[in-house]
Amino acid sequence: MKDTINKTLESYDLKGKYLDIEAINKLEIYFKSANLRIDIIKFINEQAVLIIKETSAELFEEYIDLLRPGGNAYTTRRYAACIRDLDYYLRYATYSMLADDPSILDERVLNGLKETYNSLGVPIGATIRALSIMKKIVQKQVSQEAQNIVSLPFDYMINSLSY
Ligand SMILES: CCC1=C(C)/C(=C/C2=NC(=C\c3[nH]c(/C=C4\NC(=O)[C@H](C)[C@H]4CC)c(C)c3CCC(=O)O)/C(CCC(=O)O)=C2C)NC1=O
C-alpha cells in the first residue's frame, strides 16, 4: 500500500538524496488537495449505500438478463455477492483517492480478479459498466475541482479490467 508521501520518500531514500524541487512541488500539490480529498471521502462515506443502490439499479436496468435465470446475479446469494463487490469497489476507490495512488487497488482488489470472475462466469463487461456508472453518480455530486480525484481510481479499475 502506497501513497504520494511514502512513494516520494522511498524513491529519494533509495537515491540517498534530499528532496529536490520536483519532489517538493509534487508534495505541495498533494498537501494542498488534502482537504478536498477528505471532503470527497466524507461525502462518499455518507452516501455509500445510496451510491451503490443507484449504481445497481442503473446496471440492472441496462443488463436485465443478469437477474433472470441463467444470469450471473440470479439467486439471492449471487445478487448479494454482486452488491458486495460494488461496495468493495467504492470503498477501495476512497482509499485510493486519499492516498492519491492506485497501488492499493492492485494489491487489494485487482490482483487475480479477472481470473476469479472468468472462472465464476461473472461478466467483466457488465462490471466495467457498473464502475463507469458508479463514477458518473459520484462525479455528478461533487465539485468541479473534485472531478479528477474521483475519476482516477475508477478509471484505473476500468482500465485494468479492460485488458
Ligand atoms: C476486496 C476485494 C475483493 C473483490 C473485488 C472480490 C470479488 C469477488 N466477487 C466474487 C463473486 C461474485 N461477484 C459477482 C458480481 C457480479 N455479477 C454480476 O452479474 C454483476 C456484473 C456483478 C456485480 C456488479 C457475483 C454474482 C459473484 C458470485 C458468483 C458465484 O459464486 O457464482 C468472488 C468469488 C468469491 C465470493 O463469492 O465471495 C470474489 C473474490 N472479493 C474480494 O475480496
Q: What does the domain layout of the chain look like in residue ranges?
A: 1-32, 34-162
Spell out the alpha helix ranges (H) of the chain: 4-15, 21-32, 34-62, 76-99, 103-105, 113-120, 124-140, 147-162
- Of ligand 1's listed atoms, the one at least distance from the Cα of 91 is 1
Give the CA distances from residue 102 to residues 1, 15, 58, 66, 94, in Å, rounded to whole numbers and listed in that order.
9, 23, 26, 29, 11
Give the CA distances from residue 61 to residues 8, 13, 70, 127, in Å, rounded to whole numbers and listed in that order.
44, 51, 17, 14
In Å, how far from its chain's centre is CA 147? Answer: 13
Give the pLDDT confidence of 36-90 residue by residue, as tens digits: 999 999 999 999 999 999 999 999 999 999 999 999 999 999 999 999 999 999 9
pLDDT of residue 84: 98
pLDDT of residue 107: 96
CB 40, CB 97: distance < 8 Å = yes
State yes or no: pLDDT of 1 exceeds 90.
Answer: no
| Residue 91: burial class (beta carbons within 10 Å; 0-12, 13-18, 19+) | middle
For ligand 1, atom 2: residue with the closest CA: 109
For ligand 1, atom 33: residue with the closest CA: 116
Give the pLDDT confidence of 87-132 residue by residue, as tens digits: 999 999 999 999 999 999 999 999 999 999 999 999 999 999 999 9
Binding residue numbers for (2R,3E)-phycocyanobilin = 35, 39, 72, 77, 82
* CATH placement of domain 34-162: 1.10.490.20
